Amino acid sequence: MNDKHDNKMIDEAIDKHKLVIDEWSINGFKRIEAYRTQYPDVTDGSASVGFIRMLKNVKLQEYKASKLKGISDLLGITLEDQVVALQEIKEKALESGKFTDATNAMKEQNKLLALYEEDNKQKNILTGAEKVSLKFTKKT
């Protein structure tokens, strides 16, 4: 095969994988179902592995990131808003004695703020920022 033919096949595969990512971003982030829109005859395991493998491609990683950014921009979701909302959930859960809900909200806050980073080598999700400082005050 020649390079031109190989490049065309690669471009076609990337286009197909972009369609998988499009489906994933609108179906509630169900990767197996999304993968099957383009590869309907694969098993659950193969679909899951295929989805993960396709995201090793840098172009597809960038495409996925742009889709997620577009969704958060469309919905007006910011890191600060999410952390504040989780703080409110945590406080309400504690007030009503729902300690499991409060703990889960706290865990999500910690993930968003990358507080587990040193312990488990979590990737820094805060791009362009070294540290985030937030002050919480209880509403009266």
- For residue 25, what pLDDT band results from cuts at 50, 70 and 90? confident
Q: Return the CA Rg of the chain.
A: 20
**pLDDT tens, position by position, 96-120:** 999 898 898 888 888 877 766 665 5
How many domains does the chain contain in total? 2
Q: Is there a single domain that holds both residue 122 and residue 61?
A: no
- Domain match, 54 and 31 both: yes
* Segments forming the whole domain that contains residue 100: 78-140
Last residue of a domain, one of 75, 95, 118: 75
The encoded tokens of residue 126 equal 């805060």
Statement to judge: residues 9 and 21 lie in one domain: yes
Q: Where are the alpha helices (DSSP H) in 27-76?
A: 31-36, 44-54, 58-75
